[in-house]
Chain A
Amino acid sequence: MKVTFPHMGNAWIVIQTLFESLNVEVVVPPFNSKRTLNLGTKLSPESACLPLKLNLGNYLEAASQGADTIVITGGIGPCRFGYYGEVERQILRDAGYNYEVVTLEPPDGSLLGLGKRIRFLAGSKNSWTKILKAMRFAYLKSVALDRVEDLIHAARPRLPEPILTEKLYEQARERLAQTMSEKGIQDTVRWVQESIRERQEAVNNSERINKPLRIGIVGEIYTILDPFSSVGIEEELGRLGVEVDRSIYLSGWVGSHIFRGIAPGYRSIRSYPRHAKPFLPHFVGGHGVETVGAAVKYAREGYDGIIQVFPLSCMPEIVAASVLPKVQEAYNIPIMTLIVDEHTGHAGIQTRLEAYVDLLERPRHLRESIETREGVLSVGG
């Protein structure tokens, strides 16, 4: 059995770790690319959302590397992603791919069924203690990944030479993917902090820069976690001198969905429904409530702006998008919505981001807020 799984940003590092610590053979599909999307789009219904198209592309690319089993999470409620596991199984079968598809439903489904599926994947040689241990280790890795990502978010607008910051991020991810010990995880985070400190000392600290704008990114989990889907808006904003924060981090999602809140993750998503309540008091599927709640939270915390990202035809986010103008009005904070699909062009997104940053920056010209490059570690990680 060779297990593969769909990509979603950095999630591959965590999933790969989980299976490797259980000695299950795993195929990490090639990273999301134009090719992935083209392959997936051919097999997908046109009106399906972007994640389905990318998932299918991932499986096709993984199949050529010998994968024969797919693991995907399921879900309950109005978001279509919940049944993509089944839809994908049928599409792949019709297209002539011989894949076993294992859908991991969250525990509110059937605990017994979930247990059986995990047992199927882990084989008979792994004890339940070992499985739980492996899950805990993978979780620790996801928290570390999120810490590193947050450091990069803070470093992008503050450190010169963006290409060096991206290299640092890439190397940190590589290190995290390879390490198999808790010490290795901690060392990597420390190494990133140290590298940032060194670079800060290398630049002239007395040099003043404009205090970075702060923008909160909210929206559908797949598109905001996956830089390929969001056309790299976090990196782009960083280059435009903006510090980004995101409503959902991988470990926060894992913590609340897989571990039922026993582990909160690097950034818990538990408080969002409470924040959303005055605007959207009930569940609308997917992360619609979280989107609204996070927007309210960012507005209260004094962020300069909020950007909502979701794939074309995403129902929960469409509901959220129609509520957000009320949040914009109540807190007087500009909210921009970006919708992505396989036709999304980089130039269009670029123009909107630039214009949006201009919109936030021009009034600030009057206030003239200035700081040094030193602030990275106090913000991120």
Chain B
Amino acid sequence: MLVDDKYFLGVDVGSVSTNMVLLRPDNTVKEALYLRTQGRPMQIIQEGIKQIRSKIGKSAEIIGVGATGSARQLAATLLGADVVKNEITAHAVAASRVNPQVQTILEIGGQDSKIIILRDGVVSDFAMNTVCAAGTGSFLDQQASRLGIKIEEFGPLALEAKNPVRIAGRCSVFAESDMIHKQQLGHSLPDILAGLCQAMVRNYLNNVGKNKDIRGPIFFQGGVAANPGICKAFEEEIGQSIIVPENYDVMGALGAAYLAQEKVGSRPGTLTQFRGLNLGETQFQAKSFDCTGCANRCEVVEITQDGASLARWGDRCGKWSGAGVAGTITGTSEVNLKEEKQKEEKQKEEKQKEEKRGA
């Protein structure tokens, strides 16, 4: 089976989960991984690659890589991605490939929530939560552990509710105190959980869903879509049926894989930039410093692999990110580094002098 040996890899590194999808050229999913990021994206990406390596045969080949999620740049650097896209586009691409008729995507992830409106398979509008993260996956996680139930049990329990209680959902801190209050009044656990689901959905529709024309078919994706309690609350509030696609929890990664397929497939003969399945064995390191070149004071991050600089980013002007990626123009970046160090030392000296004067 030669066909089975070639795959597109899609990687979505988010705040809470890191997802990877292996896509066959015939658009079927070979493997989907859902890992917890746990604040260590680099190690988790390596861990994921190790797992993928153990799951596919030795002769298998990755022929295209796409990266998305809040750490897409990091993932792209480590993996050598062919395409790097924001998560909104990735989610939209995945949904419209799964069902070209889809007109609305509700997506709730670990720390962000978004709504994407599509018309004729093309994104026509979108919104993301801006100043508030109330009602995202992290909050549900917290509340589940506070109530001593597993997050997997949350939804099924909520479905058992007979009289969902009304919980203030505008702010997750107040929602929590309101929930405690309702518990102390003696409401049953399922009723409280269902009330929480409804509050979350109301909050979502009032914030990200404001002014948006929600039409069916509606897809619900992201980690929170695993919760049938939330699905039911959405259906009641919107008054339409909600579809949870098969790979709802890894749609971002799936979208990235499709985008890689588009990119590599559109030009026959293009080779992937993928840096190989033995990535799991090398040492990556990240360090950061404040650039003192101008008033912007950008925080620059540098990624090194086995001691050699791989990439830098975070600067606005391109002084660091433009220089010396993967050793191409390392000369200039080293000069920059030197200058930077000299400057820092000078500043330190001046500070010490000032302190002495003050004393």
Write the residues of chain A forming the contact surface with B, with a CB cutoff of 8 angstroms: 30-35, 162-163, 166, 228, 232, 235, 312, 325, 334, 339, 341, 343, 347-348, 350-352, 354-356, 358-359, 362-363
Interface residue count on the B side (C-beta < 8 Å)? 24
- Report if B296 contacts A (CB, 8 A): yes
B126 in contact with A359 (CB, 8 Å): yes
Q: Indicate with 1 or 0, residue by residue over B299-321, a CB within 8 angstroms of chain A CB atoms.
A: 00000000000000000111100
Write the residues of chain B forming the contact surface with A, with a CB cutoff of 8 angstroms: 70, 85-89, 122-126, 128, 130-131, 211, 294-297, 316-319, 322
* Contact for A35 among B122, B123, B125, B297, CB less than 8 A: B297
List 15 contacting pairs A-B, 8 Å CB cutoff, sorted by A.
A33-B296, A35-B297, A163-B322, A235-B316, A339-B131, A348-B128, A351-B86, A352-B128, A355-B87, A355-B88, A355-B89, A355-B126, A358-B85, A358-B86, A359-B126
For B123, what are the chain A residues with a Cβ–Cβ distance below 8 Å?
A: 355, 358-359, 362
Task: Name 10 extra pairs, CB < 8 A, besides A355-B123, A363-B122.
Answer: A33-B295, A35-B297, A163-B318, A166-B318, A232-B316, A325-B211, A352-B128, A354-B89, A355-B88, A359-B124
For B318, what are the chain A residues with a Cβ–Cβ distance below 8 Å?
A: 162-163, 166
**Known contacts A163-B318, A334-B125; A351 and B88 CB within 8 A of each other:** yes
Q: How far is the CA of A372 from the CA of B294 in the complex (A)?
A: 34
| Nearest chain B CB to A361 CB, angstrom units | 10
| Nearest chain B CB to A334 CB, angstrom units | 6
For A341, what are the chain B residues with a Cβ–Cβ distance below 8 Å?
A: 131
Nearest CB in chain A to that of B211: its residue:
A325
For A162, what are the chain B residues with a Cβ–Cβ distance below 8 Å?
A: 318
* Contact for A351 among B70, B122, B124, B317, CB less than 8 A: B70
Q: How far is the CA of A284 from the CA of B296 in the complex (A)?
A: 34
Nearest CB in chain B to that of A329: its residue:
B213
A355 in contact with B131 (CB, 8 Å): no
Q: How far is the CA of A317 from the CA of B125 in the complex (A)?
A: 20
For A348, what are the chain B residues with a Cβ–Cβ distance below 8 Å?
A: 128, 130
Nearest CB in chain B to that of A360: its residue:
B123
Nearest CB in chain A to that of B322: its residue:
A163
| Nearest chain A CB to B25 CB, angstrom units | 22
For B122, what are the chain A residues with a Cβ–Cβ distance below 8 Å?
A: 359, 362-363
A355 in contact with B86 (CB, 8 Å): yes
Q: How far is the CA of A347 from the CA of B73 in the complex (A)?
A: 11
B295 in contact with A351 (CB, 8 Å): no
